[in-house]
Amino acid sequence: MSTISIHRTEILRITHARSRIFRQRYRRTIPLWKLAINSRSSDTSKKEELSVQISIPPQVDQLRPDGLRFDRLQPSEPEFGHEDRFEFGKFVAREAMLDEEYWTAAWLRAESHWEDRSNERYVDNYKRKFAEQEFNAIKRRCKGMQGQKCSCIVAVKKEEKHIKRSVIKSVVGTLDLSIRYFLQGETFPGEKVKSQLFCSINQEGSNRYGYIANLCVAKSARRQGIARNMLRFAVESARLSGVEHVYVHVHKNNSVAQELYQKTGFKIVETGKFESLDDDTYLLQYTS
């Protein structure tokens, strides 16, 4: 049984080409039934697919937190409690709402992290462990700490008539957006500052900034503008939170990622006169 919420849709002023940003306000509907974990077949040769080409690792049932259902169908958009979403092509960017979406985001990050080392021994075990740890880390970050806010943004396939997809086959991209405060003495994220016995955080509005991390897209869904449009949604979400500057670190050898961010409007920050905590990355900034 599913519950439908009556809601109101408001189109924001900012649009990108044929993309549309919606703001929806309605009460979140919480299912009242208890989630059950079904036992799987012992045939280990059978694998479920994640975003077509990304498969759920063997024995993942042993690692799944209580309550997760990998066969859970993706609810329709009106059933969610998120306010903002960004439509582009066949996809929608929005904040993750379900534990199954958090888990899929964690697994996509595990796949991305080990993508160039797929032939290493025990790589499946490493990916399972990575996904488990990242899943727990995402949930901790999204609870917020010290006044900071973190959102796990996902790109999901749009609903289609007469087509039912599971949550894990709907999520095709993910990133984290954090709203942070500069530490005392900082002028940009990651700057080395003189250590102090007590470090204070200036929580004035002008001292806040956005930070993007963990951007990745499923192999099967690349070259469709998903990463670029997730970035646009993240930047707009930060702006609506009252943040003017959004930052991201990119490895100096990752020319593809650098080009992606620069096409989206990010520019490399000249930090030569400052001491940085990481000399292997560039710091990029987007200014609203």
pLDDT digits (tens, 9 = 90+) for 243-283: 999 999 999 999 999 999 999 999 999 765 555 556 789 99
Per-residue burial over 31-63, b if 16 or more Cβ lie within 10 Å, else e, is: eeeeeeeeeeeeeeeeeeebbeebebbeebeee
> Tokens for 190?
């990651």
Residues 6+ apart with CB under 8 A from 263: 228
The question of whether 261 is a catalytic residue gets the answer yes
Single out the catalytic residue among 209, 211, 261, 282.
261
Domains and CATH numbers, the chain: 8-26+47-287 (3.40.630.30)
Rounded distance, CA 230 to CA 234, Å?
6
pLDDT tens profile 58-85:
444 444 566 788 888 888 876 665 668 9
pTM comes to: 0.72
Per-residue burial over 116-128, b if 16 or more Cβ lie within 10 Å, else e, is: eeeeeeeebeebb
